[in-house]
C-alpha cells in the first residue's frame, strides 16, 4: 500500500462530487451542490440528472487539479453504485466506467450508505478512527439506521425507520414552518437560540430498534395550524423555540434507540454518519454521552457528513485492498442492501 491514488465519484442525489485520496489522506474534495432544487422545495430527479451531466466533467477536473495529480497517476476509480436516484446514479456510474476503461485501471463500486460510515476512516489530524465492532447511527435525507459494523464491508442493519428518514423529518418540519429547502441546517441554526423545552411534541411508540418520524411531522403540522389560527404572527415570533423543541424531540428519539442498541449489543463505541450528523445539537449530545454513559463516540469532520466523494474514495481504498473490482457490466442500483 505505497502510492495509492483513488478518485471517488458521488452522484446519488443532488450533489455532484469528486475527491482524490492518497494513501488514506484526502488531497481534494470537491462538491457542486445543485441550487436548482431550492425553487421546488425538494429534489426533482429529472433536473438532478441533468445537472449531474453538466457538472461531472468540471468537478472531476477540479478534484484532479486541486490534488495536483494527472489522471494517469490514478490507481483506481470508485463510484457510488447506489442507493439513490436512478437518473443521478447513472451519470456517475457511466462516467466512472468509461474513465476506468480509458485508463485501464480497476473500477470499484461503492454502497453510498457504507461510504457514509467509512468516512470515519479518512486520515485526519485530531480525528480518531473507530475500532471494530462499533455501532453507526446513519442519519441522512434518505436513511435512518443503526448499523453494527464488524469490518469495513461487514455491516448489519439492526434498526431502521419504518417511514420518513430523520433528514426528511427535519426538512418537512422546516417546510411547515415556511423555511426553504433543505431546512435541516436552518432548524439547527434557529434551535441554537431557542428553548428546547418550550413546546412538547409526542414521541413515537415503535418496537425494537426501529424508528418512525411521520407522526412527528403530522403533529407539528397540527400544532402550527392551531397556533396560526390564534395568532398569525405565532411562528415568526416563536421560530427559535419551535425549532429548538423539534430538534430536541428528534435527538431524544435517536438517543433512546441508541441507548437500547448499546444495551442489546454490549457495544459502547458509537459513530454517527450522514448529512444529519452535521447537526450541532446531535454532535453535542453525543459528545456529552461520553461522560454520561461511558461511550466512546465518533463524530466525523463536518465536510464528510453531507454527501461527498471523499467518503466514496476511502471506501474505494479499502475495496481496492480486498481485490473485489467491479466489472464493466456493473449497473447502477436505486436500492441496495447494506
Ligand atoms: O447525507 P445527505 O447529504 O444526503 C442524503 O444521502 O440524504 O443528507 C442530507 C440531509 C438533509 O435532509 C438535510 O436537511 C440534512 O441532511 N442536514 C441537516 C443538517 N445538515 C444537513 N439536518 C439537521 N441539521 C443540520 N445541521
Ligand atoms: Zn448521503
pLDDT tens-place string over residues 128-159:
999 999 999 999 998 999 999 999 999 999 99
Equal CATH topology for 5-120+305-322 and 129-299 = yes
Exposure class string for 121-152: b at 16+ Cβ within 10 A, else e: bbebeeeeebeebbbbbbbbbbbbbbbbbeeb
Task: Provide the pLDDT for residue 41.
Answer: 81
Q: What residues does each domain of the chain span?
A: 5-120+305-322, 129-299
Q: Which residues line ligand 1 (CB under 6 A)?
A: 13, 140-142, 167, 170-171, 182, 184-185, 188, 274-276, 278-279, 306-307
Q: Which ligand is nearest to the CA of 113?
A: 2
Task: Provide the pLDDT for residue 267.
Answer: 98
CB-based contacts of 101, cutoff 8 Å, min separation 6: 107, 328
Task: Provide the pLDDT for residue 38.
Answer: 84
Question: Which cell numbers in the block locate residue 217?
Answer: 411531522
Cut 0.90: pTM above it: yes
- For the 5-120+305-322 domain, the top CATH level (class) is alpha beta
Sole residue written with cell 422545495: 41
Residues in the chain: 338
Q: What is the ipTM of this complex?
A: 0.98
Handedness of CA 321, 89, 20, 269 (dihedral sign): negative
Low-confidence ranges of the chain (pLDDT < 70): 1
* Cα 217 to Cα 195: distance, rounded to the nearest angstrom: 19
Task: Provide the pLDDT for residue 1.
Answer: 52
Q: At residue 88, what are phi and psi to the nearest 5 degrees? A: -75, -45
Q: Which fold has domain 129-299?
A: Nucleotidyltransferase; domain 5 (3.30.420)
Q: Which ligand is nearest to the CA of 143?
A: 1
Candidate from 45, 140, 250 with most ligand 1 atoms within 8 A of CB, to mutate: 140
Amino acid at each position: 500500500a505505497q502510492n495509492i491514488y483513488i478518485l471517488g465519484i458521488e452522484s446519488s442525489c443532488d450533489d455532484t462530487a469528486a475527491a482524490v485520496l492518497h494513501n488514506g489522506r484526502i488531497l481534494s474534495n470537491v462538491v457542486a451542490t445543485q441550487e436548482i432544487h431550492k425553487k421546488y422545495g425538494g429534489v426533482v430527479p429529472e433536473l438532478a440528472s441533468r445537472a449531474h451531466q453538466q457538472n461531472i466533467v468540471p468537478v472531476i477536473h477540479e478534484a484532479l487539479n486541486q490534488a495536483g495529480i494527472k489522471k494517469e497517476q490514478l490507481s483506481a476509480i470508485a463510484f457510488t453504485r447506489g442507493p439513490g436516484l436512478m437518473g443521478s446514479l447513472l451519470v456517475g456510474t457511466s462516467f466512472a466506467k468509461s474513465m476506468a476503461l480509458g485508463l485501464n485501471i480497476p473500477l470499484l463500486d461503492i454502497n453510498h450508505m457504507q461510504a457514509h460510515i467509512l468516512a470515519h476512516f479518512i486520515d485526519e489530524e485530531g480525528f480518531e478512527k473507530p475500532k471494530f465492532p462499533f455501532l453507526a447511527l446513519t442519519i441522512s435525507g434518505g436513511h435512518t439506521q443503526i448499523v453494527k459494523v464488524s469490518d469495513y464491508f461487514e455491516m448489519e442493519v439492526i434498526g431502521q425507520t419504518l417511514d420518513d428518514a430523520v433528514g426528511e423529518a427535519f426538512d418537512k418540519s422546516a417546510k411547515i414552518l415556511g423555511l426553504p429547502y433543505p431546512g435541516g441546517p436552518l432548524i439547527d441554526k434557529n434551535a441554537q437560540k431557542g428553548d428546547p423545552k418550550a413546546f412538547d411534541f409526542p414521541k413515537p411508540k415503535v418496537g425494537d430498534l426501529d424508528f418512525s418520524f411521520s407522526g412527528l411531522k403530522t403533529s407539528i403540522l397540527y400544532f402550527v395550524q392551531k397556533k396560526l389560527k390564534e395568532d398569525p404572527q405565532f411562528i415568526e415570533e416563536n421560530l427559535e423555540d419551535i425549532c429548538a423543541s423539534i430538534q430536541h424531540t428528534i435527538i431524544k428519539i435517536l438517543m433512546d434507540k441508541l441507548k437500547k442498541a448499546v444495551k442489546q449489543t454490549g457495544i459502547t463505541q458509537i459513530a454517527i454518519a450522514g448529512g444529519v450528523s452535521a447537526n450541532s445539537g446531535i454532535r453535542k449530545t453525543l459528545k456529552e454521552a461520553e461522560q454520561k454513559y461511558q461511550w466512546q463516540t465518533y463524530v466525523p469532520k463536518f465536510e464528510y457528513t453531507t454527501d461527498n466523494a471523499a467518503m466514496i474514495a476511502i471506501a474505494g481504498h479499502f475495496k481496492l485492498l480486498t481485490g473485489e473490482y467491479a466489472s464493466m457490466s456493473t449497473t447502477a442500483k436505486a436500492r441496495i442492501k447494506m
